[in-house]
Each structure stands twice: as C-alpha cells, then as structure tokens.
Structure 1
Amino acid sequence: MSDPEYFGKYKTIAFERDDKGILIVRFHSDGGPVVYTKEHHTESVDAFYEIGKDVDNRVVILTGTGDSFINDARWDDPVSGPGDWEKVHREGKRMLRNLLDIEVPVIAAINGPATIHAELAVLSDITLASSDTVFADTPHFPGHTVPGDGVHVVWQELLGSNRGRYFLLTGQQLSASEALALGVVNEVLEPEALLGRARELAEYIIARPPLVTRYTRTAITVRWKRLLDEALGYGLALEGLGVLSLR
C-alpha cells in the first residue's frame, strides 16, 4: 500500500500507516514536542478531512511527540477585529467536526501533559494515557479567554456539569489516575507501553469486518456531533467577543 499524497503535506503532523491500515497520526513541532501555533490549528482541519476520506485507513491512532501531547503554545496572531476572528471561528468549527467525521475508530495515545486542545484526544473512542499525563485547560479562562472552542462542551460532558464547570473556571489539573477514576480515560499505562497497547487495540478492532468498524464509529459519534453542532459555533463567537474586549 503506497502512501497517499497528504502524508507529506503537513509541517505539524506526521503519518505512519502499516499494511493493515492502522494509521498513526502524530502531532509535532519541527519533529519535537508540540508548541501549538496557528499553523497546527489550520493544518488539523484539512488533515482530519483527508484522513476521513481515505478508505485505506482502518483505525486511527492520535498521539503527540516526546514527553507531552500538547503542553505549550505560541499563538502570535493578533485579533483586532471581527475579520481576524473569522478564520479562527471557521477553522474551530471544522476541526472538531472533521475529526468526528473520520469514519473509522479513533484511539488516543496521550503521551504526556495535555493542557492545550486536550479535547482532540479525549473525543476519541478509546483513550489511553501515559502515567505522567496531566489534563487541564490552560489557554482559556486562566488566560482571560472564554472557553468556547468546544472545551465547554467536551469537559462538561465527560466530567459532568458541576465538575466540568469547575475544571474550566479554576484551571484544575487532573492527573492520569484522577482522569481514569472520573472516566475521562480508559487505561493508564507506563510511557513505554502506551503505543504498543494502542496498536494492540487497533489490531483487535480491524479483526472485524471493515463496514462493521466504519458503521460502529458512525453510530457512536452521533451524540458528540449533535452536542457540538448545538454549541460550538456560538461558543466560538463568544470567545471572539471576549478576545476583542481585551483590545
């Protein structure tokens, strides 16, 4: 199976697929741990779309690089008016929808702290975390920004309304063991065992007929799509108004 063109297209995302169709999608910055930028945001939108339309993908494994999933950011794109925010608003809606529109099961292998865009991982069908993983939402309310880009939906759904709102408002950090106890992740493993376990689960999934795995993914993401369709665009608009109020 030859690699499709999109495998070499993105500066912030690396792809590796075996002959069984298990695709590893690895976020990075210059080959190292992610320092999240507007380029990561933009490229994720198109990459998720291309992954989803590639029928040679049987299972997708999302992971980061090095000892963190996404734990640092450098967003140096100023917002001075509605036109500047429109790109963020447009991409923000499509990024999560394109992720959920991938019609094969998605496994997250969270390889360390996930304090920025952790929703990209915890929206997966199976969520594995290394023992040194920490979850938080640092860029939004702690950084004087409205948590409206989907985190307001995802964390209240996963943690429950009261715990989710507390998490977003206080900048709470959840350890891997706490996340396991709260149902945010399914398994906690030592870092060296993480990707191997993800592959093991992927092998289990692809032992089923292809259409069964595809249609199962479609069935189990219906609720997430509805929740995000209801609240994501509005949340992003509120986030943009909050950003503009600081200018």
Structure 2
Amino acid sequence: MTDEPVLVSADGPVRVITLNRPDARNAFSSDMHLALLAALREVCADPGARAIVLTGAGRAFSAGGDIEDFAVLADDLALRRSRLREGRQIFEDLLNVHLPVVAAVNGPAVGLGCTLASACDIVHISDSTYLADPHVQVALVAGDGGAVAMPLSIGLLRAKRYLLTGERIPAAVAVELGLATYADPADQVFDKAMASARQLAELPAQAVQDTKMVLNQHLRQASVSMLGYGLAAESQSHDTSEYRAVPEKFAARKG
C-alpha cells in the first residue's frame, strides 16, 4: 500500500475511498483533509461510478483529529482557521455527493471519524468496535458536524448524552440507536459494505441519487443553521487552558 493519505480504487461501478494513515489510526492531518476532498471530487466526476465505499486502512476507521497537532493549533490562528474550513468542507461535500456513500467502519470511528460515518447513507460497522465523539473530553466544542447529524439520527436527548460526555457507543448500540445500519463480524464488514454498494449501484441511478439528495436536505438545512456557529465555538476552544493541557495529559498516559 502506498503512503498517500487517501486511496481511491475501482471495483466495477463501486469506488472505494480508503483513509490511509494506519500508523496514526487514520487521524486527520491537513494532507488527509485535502486528499479526501480531492478523492470525493474525483469520484463524483467519474461517469462510471455509481456508489462509494468509505473505509479506513489498518485497525481504525479514523481516530479523528491528530493529537500531534494540538500544540500548534493552539498557537497558530491562521492554521487553525484553515483546518476548520477543511473540516467543514469535508462534511458539506459528503452531504452533497450525489452518489450513495456506504461506510465500512472497520475499527473505531472517533471525533471527525464519527462525523464522517454519520454523514454516510448506509453504515456497516464491525461488531467489535465503536463510535465516539469525544470532543469535550479534549476540551473542544463538538462543532465539526456531529452536532448537526447526530440529533437527526437518534434524537436530541440521546445526542446530548453522547456529545456532552464523549461516551463510546458500541456497535450494537449504534445500530439500535440509528447511528449505524448493520453490525457485522469484523472479518466481513468490508465485504458487506461492498454488497450494499453494489446493490445501490444496480438500481436506476437517477432515482437513487436524487432520492438521496432529497433526504440529505434535512442535513443541509441543519448544517446551514448550525455548522458555522459550531466551528466558531470550536475555534475558541483552542484558546483555553484546558485544551492546551491535553497533549501533556496524553503523554502522561502513554508514559
């Protein structure tokens, strides 16, 4: 496997987009942000594509933000604003992709990883893993899209439980709540996701694509009213003493 941060491959009418920083549990760097945006646009411009499978290389779907970036984001406002714009664009692009997107959540989907899964159309999750949006646990506002998508999937009170605490959501619970569609054995999750994508790809394209776009209007409307405020609040989080202390706390745990 190459060292490109995002890989794109074709399997008939299905395009597989793979987050590819396995040594970092597919945590998002700026390079991965930009590569994922480019991959989505590449696939959407492909006349032979009918469905997308989004997955992660290695043991994780995505660990979300990279702890290695915390210190620099606390001190570099321009970089922080750029990263938040990239994150916003990824969420909005996923909502606006006309092709159906099937998530193959092969391992933990955390923070932005959880948000990505919640923006997909069908979610297959390994029955041995979990979703989590622990922004608050690292002194950040959950502003990158989770607070937009999660309440629409599971209801406001349940979303408050998980976004205000950062509590992990095991696969079976995620399915029960409506954050995932299927919980599959770990060694079958990718194949099951591919089967769902092929099923969608075989249906009349205009009917599938525009039905998806109609349904996603709920998310787009919520995004317009909420996402800008959420990301502005998340940006302010970087200025707090609690946020600045996070890298040291992580280092202490590893020690």
Q: Please, what TM-score do these two structures have when normalized by structure 2?
A: 0.85
Q: CA deviation at 1:32?
A: 7.8
CA-to-partner distance for each residue in 1:78-133, whole Å, 9 max, x for gaps?
34354333212321221111112211111111001112321111211111111112
Q: Give deviations 1:222-241, integer Å, cap 9, x for gaps.
A: 11111112111111011111
User: What are the residue-to-residue correspondences of 1:156-175 with 2, within 5 Å?
Assistant: 156-175=151-170
C-alpha distance in structure 1 between counterparts of 2:224 and 2:41, whole Å? 17
1:95 aligns with 2:95: no
Task: Identify the residue that residue 104 of structure 2 maps to in structure 1.
Answer: 109
- Does 1:44 find its partner at 2:36? yes
Query: Contact 1:32–1:65 at 8 Å: present in 2 too?
Result: no
Percent identity over the alignment is 26
Residue 227 (structure 2) aligns with? 232
Name the amino acid aligned to 1:158: S
- In structure 2, how many angstroms separate the alpha carbons of the residues matched to 1:74 and 1:245? 16
Within 5 Å, give how 1:146-225 maps onto structure 2.
146-225=141-220
Map of 1:19-168 to 2, 5 A cutoff? 20-29=12-21, 33-71=25-63, 73-76=66-69, 77-80=72-75, 82-117=77-112, 118-138=114-134, 140-168=135-163
Deviations, residues 33-52 of structure 1 (Å, cap 9, x unaligned): 42332322232233323332
Distance 1:191 1:33 in 2: 16
Consecutive unaligned residues in structure 1, runs of 5 or more: 1-7
The alignment partner of 2:149 has SS state of: helix
In structure 1, distance between residues paired with 2:240 and 2:27? 26
Q: What is the identity, as a one-letter code, of the residue corresponding to 2:133?
A: D
Which residue in the other structure is 1:14 paired with? Answer: 7
Gaps of 5+ in 2: 245-255
What is the root-mean-square deviation in Å for CA atoms of aligned residues?
2.2
Aligned residues of 2:94 and 2:120 also touching (Cα < 8 A): no
How many pairs are equivalent? 237
Gap change, CA 1:198 and 1:229, over 3 Å in 2: same
Asked whether the equivalents of residues 32 and 66 of structure 1 are also in contact (C-alpha less than 8 Å), the reply is no
Q: Secondary structure at the match of 2:195?
A: helix
- Aligned partner of 2:45: which letter? K
Asked if structure 1 preserves the Cα contact closer than 8 Å seen for 2:25 and 2:62, the reply is yes
Determine which structure has the larger helix proportion and give its number: 2
* 1:83–1:32 Cα change, 3 Å: closer
Partner Cα separation in structure 2 for residue 203 and residue 160 of structure 1: 30
